[in-house]
Amino acid sequence: MRIWKMNIYVKLFAVCLFSVAVAACATSGVVGKSDPASGKSEIVEIQNKSLAKKVSIKDFKSRVINDLLNVQVEIQNNFNSTQEFQYKFSWFDTTGFAVESGGDSWKTLILHGQESKTVQGLAPNPTATKFKIVLRKL
């Protein structure tokens, strides 16, 4: 009987620990997705409540230059204090598969109180028709 109770507690603890780990992984940044080809965009997915309260995606635009998707995203600091974070673009083809970008790395952005800045990304090749921008705290 004691072993059975102990197994239940161990399993319950493991489930709780797994739940905490999943919640921690889901709080890594703010993600905004767009499909400029169809004109549709998804709402901003909040993964880090602290960062999501402090910054927001104010606007985005896209165009095609020399067969490459060029995107421009305006990011707004919603607080009076300076926010320092990183952003990165990811690129996808028409079917939603990732397009290797090779050189896309995290870039640091500093926004002072209530400031907004525009960042741009250029697709690595003509197969990229969709993009995702990811923001994370330093």
pLDDT digits (tens, 9 = 90+) for 20-67: 333 334 445 666 666 555 565 553 555 677 898 899 988 888 899 999
**15 CB contacts (<8 Å, ≥6 apart)?**
none
* pLDDT confidence bin for 12, thresholds 50/70/90: very low
Domains of the chain, first to last: 29-137 (2.60.40.3230)
Give the pLDDT confidence score for residue 125 in this predicted structure: 94
**110 CB contacts (<8 Å, ≥6 apart)?**
82, 83, 84
Q: Can you give the pTM of this predicted structure?
A: 0.70
Give the pLDDT confidence score for residue 28 in this predicted structure: 52
pLDDT digits (tens, 9 = 90+) for 73-85: 999 999 999 999 9
Query: 39 in helix, strand or coil?
Result: coil
Beta strand segments in 42-129, E: 45-46, 55-65, 68-77, 83-92, 98-99, 107-111, 116-122
